[in-house]
Structure 1
Amino acid sequence: MTITYAWRGEVDNAALNSLHADAFGYPVGDTDWAGRLRRHSLGWVCAREAGVLVGFVNVAWDGGSHAFLLDTAVAPGRQGRGVGAGLVARAAEGARDAGCAWLHVDFEEPLRRFYLDACGFRETAAGLLALD
């Protein structure tokens, strides 16, 4: 099957909640993704196969030159097949077209090879403060 990608593609809350639960291994939630994305995002990318949502990434931004990847999710049965790299490539293109100069991503150690090798990010120093 062919994977199609759409910048600011149609968002179905139930499908995106299900994808997130599958990709991150937690129970299906009831997040209003469509509302959240409209309020807070520069854009997002949806990946579909035969009309079924199999991947998603959110692109938040600071209203200027910095964009940030959040919530990169690929259906478990599609992981390791280039879907995630395709999502990130289209997210970078959308951010670039919107005038952003930088695309940031934070990731945990197991995703290092994906973001640095498959997606072309370079390593930088960063910090994280837990607020809970």
Structure 2
Amino acid sequence: MELVPRFPVDDRELSALHARAFGGDPAAVRPWAQRLERHALTWIGAFDGSRLTGFVQVCWDGGAHAFILDTAVDPDLQGRGIGTALVRAAAAAARDAGCEWLHVDFEPHLEHFYLDQCGFRTTPAGLIAL
């Protein structure tokens, strides 16, 4: 597995990975490349040869805070450390950019991954559904 920061994004390929990882519509193609260029501090892909097997993006506020979004690993390859490697690489990239804090939101079934494997800690937070 090779981790590649800011790789040239193929919208179809990343949309398909995202759909497999999150149970979405495999036919839906999202404008990933455009969104990442516009909003992300960085993004990192995990590749097995030329095949995209994992992904994470880091957004930020332009200052001290960065945010992990869209961590995805092909379901057939989960449990092999790909997601952990992606999040650690994302944390290093945020630190290198001068960020002081890295935030992540996650569903309860991902608590073990983010807290135990990736080293996040729980904090109080708020959320408004829009």
Q: TM-score range by the shorter chain?
A: over 0.9
User: Can you give the 5+ residue segments of structure 1 that lack an aligned partner in the other structure?
Assistant: none
Which residues in structure 2 correspond to 1:1-132 (within 5 Å)?
3-28=1-26, 29-131=28-130
CA deviations on 1:57-89 (whole Å, 9 max, x unpaired) are 110100101000011110001111100000001
Deviation at 1:6, TM superposition (A): 1.2
Identity of matched residues, %:
57
Q: Distance in 1 between matches of 2:116 and 2:71?
A: 16
Whole-angstrom CA distance in 2 between matches of 1:50 and 1:105: 29
Alignment RMSD: 0.7
Is the partner of 2:30 in helix, strand or coil?
Answer: coil
| Structure 1 residue 123 displacement after superposition | 1.1
Shift of 1:48: 0.5
Stretches of structure 2 lacking an aligned partner (at least 5 in a row): none
- In the TM superposition, what whole-angstrom CA distance separates every residue of 1:19-55 from its partner, at most 9, and x where no partner exists? 0000000112211101000001100110001210000
**Aligned partners of 2:93 and 2:8: how far apart in 1?**
15
**In structure 2, what is the Cα distance between the partners aligned to 1:121 and 1:95?**
14
TM-score of the two chains, using structure 2 as the length reference: 0.96
Which deviates more, 84-93 or 3-12? 3-12
Structure 2 counterpart of 1:11, one-letter code: V
* Alpha-carbon distance in structure 2 between the residues aligned to 1:101 and 1:26: 33
Moved over 6 A (4+): none
Per-residue deviation, residues 74-119 of structure 1 (Å, max 9, x unmatched): 0001111100000001000111111111100000100000000000
Shift of 1:8: 1.3
